Structure 1
Amino acid sequence: MSTRVLVADDSSTMRKIILRSLQAVGVPNAVEAADGEEAVSLFKPGEFDLVLTDWNMPGKSGLEVIQEIRKIDADVKIMMVTTEAEKSRVMEAIQAGVSDYLVKPFTADTLREKLEKHGC
């Protein structure tokens, strides 16, 4: 069974990069959300093993996505994928319930390491 991933990013270019990176590391299918609202509406308990979310999106921010998904499923892995690399921002994401943090730009190898770390 392959890892089921939900990718939330308001940049279609970034979503394509993330999807290609996932394919490169053996995750062939992922569901795309163009913003935080769509990500939360698409998320259902047990349907995804991992959520990859951008921080800065219109409507709902990545932090709001994390908080809302955590209310639905406390165990799903959630990775923030963002350019926000300041320690205070990382800590804010951790407090919101993120499982891990991936700073853009990233390599497929870095993504693979993060996925393996979380058993995905």
Structure 2
Amino acid sequence: MKNNPEDKEKMNLRIETRTESPRDASVEFTPGDTKMAYHFKLRDFSSKGLCIMVRKDSKVLKYIKTGDVLSMRYHPDEATANPVSHKTQIKHISEPEFGKQQDHMLVGLLILE
């Protein structure tokens, strides 16, 4: 197996200490030219961003890629709370640790403004 520098960089993005997200905190966005909004529970936080978990067979993965900047609505507690909109960059789309949620992908998010 090759040592791909890009793979190492993606691994380093997940090394930082993570804090579990507040109960029911979530994010909602409409990627690309789609008309469908996607809503995901926030998984965890670090000083460099947030993370959501997306099923590998989810159509949203066809519409997003690392580096994309999207307008996302953050729901701090529950879906009915007043959401806050932020420009957000997709920092990585990567496999979870071996043995954990193998049917999902981790999507790292960085709030830009």
- Name the TM tier (shorter chain): under 0.3
TM-score (norm 2): 0.27
Higher-Rg member (1/2): 2
